[in-house]
Structure 1
Amino acid sequence: MSEQEPVAGFAVAVVREEGRWRWQSLDDSALRELDAAITELRKIRTSGAVLGMLAVDDEFFILLRPSPGGVSLLLSDATAALDYDVAADALDLLRVEPPEDDDEMWPEGALDIVADLGLPAPEMQVIVDEVDLYPDEQLQMIAQRCGFDGEFGKVLDTVLQ
């Protein structure tokens, strides 16, 4: 995909502050360039958890959690790197070689990225393996397990209109 070409999907940050969740949209450039998503997430000032959620073109999702030492991420389908710059950027950040072909899908990155929010790695693996679901449906399942499905429902209502 060309950097100038718009990418369908949505990019949001979900933030937990003082026991409550809130969300905010990220710029559309976050769907094209991983650095843009990370930069926007790092601008969010909070003492709580920050989670970036990108649903790209009904094909895959990326979860991002910035920390002082870097960023944790999960790419739901490594083969997406063959067609999408943002997925290729994710593999590059993870120092993983892109796949040769797209015969088999697999996740790359931290399956335990939201384990502290109530979704352990084995359960995340089950969600990622649900290849018949769209990324927004997989992200909804993640939101439900982490306790912010109400807020995420508002995100979906807003971005999918």
Structure 2
Amino acid sequence: MAVQTVRDAPQAQDEVLPGFALAAIREEGRWRCTKLDPEALTDLDTAITELRELRSTGAVLGLLAVDDCFFVVLRPIPGGVSLMLSDAVAALDYDVAADVLDLLRVDLPPEDAADDDPWPEGDMGIVADFGLGADELEVLAGELELYPDEQLTSIARRCGFADAMAKVLG
């Protein structure tokens, strides 16, 4: 059983973390994916900047699977970025998660929340227009049996870019 926990996470600041960062771009009814700089796993600004630089006429999503502990979905929108964090408790140990909460204007969870179930925050309807509703995304984020990469693969499958994602991740 894959259990997500950040309670005993290594210091994640200023180092490259295990996981992946990628962009999923939808143009003319087709999806393509590309890797983002690994620094996006530790620096939210890097992820946002890279996604904005793609300058697509269609939708752009950023997907971060961080250190087998949590995931982030980002979506540039006019005037900002829409964000979804699978577990707010990760912000106690990971700068990128804390940055997500900061942009969402959500307080850090209390230290004792690390023993609780995952606590998703942000825009649960971030990919609703691609077939994965807010309620389903929240349930998926709370699924303790899955690692973040598996959760993002499920999101990709529901939204229609699982094949493109698999090609990039090899």
TM-score (norm 2): 0.89
What's the RMSD between the two structures over aligned residues?
A: 1.1
Equivalent of residue 110 in structure 2, options 100, 105, 113: 100
1:90-136 superposed Cα distances (whole Å, 9 cap, x missing partner): 00000111111212221000110000111110111121121120001
Matched, 1:44 2:57: no
Residue 18 (structure 1) aligns with:
28
Q: Secondary structure at the match of 1:14?
A: strand
Corresponding position of 1:129? 142
Aligned to 1:90: 100
Which structure would you say has the larger RCO, counting Cα contacts within 8 Å and 6 or more residues apart? 2
Letter in 2 for 1:55: A
Q: How far apart, in 1, do the equivalents of 2:69 and 2:12 lie? A: 17
Query: Offset at 1:81?
Result: 0.4
**Partners of 2:55 and 2:34 in 1: how far apart?**
12
- Which residue is 2:41 aligned to? 31
Letter in 1 for 2:64: L
Unaligned runs of 5+ in 1: none
Could you tell me whether the CA contact under 8 Å between 2:27 and 2:59 is conserved in 1?
A: yes
Contact in 1 for aligned 2:22/2:33 (Cα 8 Å): yes
The CA deviation at 1:156 is: 3.0
AA in 2 matched with 1:126 = V
Q: State the percentage of identical aligned residues.
A: 62
- Alignment partner, residue 81 of structure 1: 91
Taking structure 1 as the reference length, the TM-score comes to: 0.94
- Contact kept, 8 Å, 2:12 with 2:93, in 1: the verdict is no
Amino acid at match of 1:112: G
Letter matched to residue 98 of structure 2: A
- Residue correspondences, number: 157
Instruction: Provide structure 2 residue ranges, at least 5 long, that are not aligned to the other structure.
Output: 1-10
What amino acid is aligned across from residue 46 of structure 1 in structure 2? S
Structure 1 residue ranges (4+ consecutive) displaced by more than 6 angstroms after TM superposition: none
Shift in CA distance, 145/79, structure 1 to aligned 2, threshold 3 Å? same
Quick check: 1:111 aligned with 2:124? Answer: yes
2:65 to 55, 65, 72: 55
Q: What is the one-letter code of the residue matched to 2:115?
A: D
